[in-house]
Copies of this chain bind each other. A is one copy, B any other.
């Protein structure tokens, strides 16, 4: 199947400065086969993109899809109070079907706000994978392993990795150790060995709070980064979620990792975790992607909001407005995020040969006018509601804000039942 996108205003996210141009794009099956003006192709279905900016789908490098029912649930609390009194007791009661519907609601929100690829870890994933497959999203999935109930999760990781280990799969299986403070050295080693065996990556929380760094220091007299390094965790590609309290010697270690750090600015603010020094980390050549974390802590999965907040925090953290610009923020939300997930050969920019994960932005809006600078408008004024059309892997998932083949009402109806039973 071919799709011909006519008259797009293309923001390809290739290169170190924005390249915005009018062009056509030809999609052949799931890949971009041609980018030039005036393409003709009689077999292709045609989409007129005349009023739209076409850019790569956004990449959310850290989330927990199954937590959607916790949107706004007992919010504005301290992390540990919230987890222990609000979240954990409910999570214990989640049934497999709940995980399915909760994940599906998150998938819909991701699509409607322009995210085409996500990276998820949670303690149950089978049903999340079902929802993700039905939604059409691309995702990296991992069973979050702690010191308890390791066996089952390792088995599942292996089983699902086998199932999805092929080039054209939209799902990629990662191994996840939950965090240095919740995984002892044996658990970390098991996870790293599994990632090596499967030739895949490791998704782990790192240095989200000062408190957890203190715990690691007391237990091992090391930083979280040193702890992981000494257990050879960085032999495999990693996604390190948060990375807020990184020392200069940690930085030396992290300079050489494959993968990168997922920066979650909204969650880090809402939970008063701290500010990740993105500017410094990027200067040291470390890949930084953006993530939303779960809905429970951020309340939204809209990556446009993460882009805004990421920029605001860096400018306030450095007290230097030139420290990061709109295009760099867009890169973090696309190609750099893809690089963090090891997917940059396939997605993150719009280039011939890459997979067709595209979003169409309707810029015919008051808040995006005048357009003195497209990237600035996209980062500082656009939001998820401006995403008009979404294509993932060459397939239209949303067109003119209408979801294709997704029954949102049914999802909401089932969410209502879960909420009624559990919250």
Contacts and interface: CB of A to CB of B under 8 A. Distances in A.
Contacts of A367: 109, 112-113, 300-302, 384
A17 interface: no
User: What is the copy number of this chain in the assembly?
Assistant: 2
Nearest to A68: B370
B72 A373 contact: yes
Contacts of A423: 370, 372
B72 A376 contact: yes
A315 interface: yes
A312 B310 CA distance: 11
Q: Give the interface centre of A73, A275, A298, A299 by most chain B CB atoms within 10 Å.
A: A299
B316 A274 contact: yes
Contact of A76 (B73, B366, B376): B376
Given A78-B321, A300-B381, A270 B315 contact: yes
B109 A366 contact: yes
Nearest to A364: B412
A112 B371 contact: no
A230 interface: no
Contacts of A369: 71, 105, 412, 415
26 contacts: A69-B372, A71-B377, A72-B376, A72-B377, A76-B322, A76-B326, A76-B376, A77-B321, A108-B366, A112-B366, A265-B312, A268-B316, A270-B311, A270-B315, A272-B316, A272-B319, A275-B316, A298-B380, A299-B380, A300-B367, A302-B383, A366-B408, A370-B416, A370-B419, A383-B385, A385-B385
Given A69-B372, A302-B367, A385-B386, 13 more contacts: A72-B371, A72-B377, A76-B322, A77-B322, A78-B320, A78-B322, A272-B319, A298-B380, A299-B380, A309-B309, A369-B412, A383-B383, A383-B384
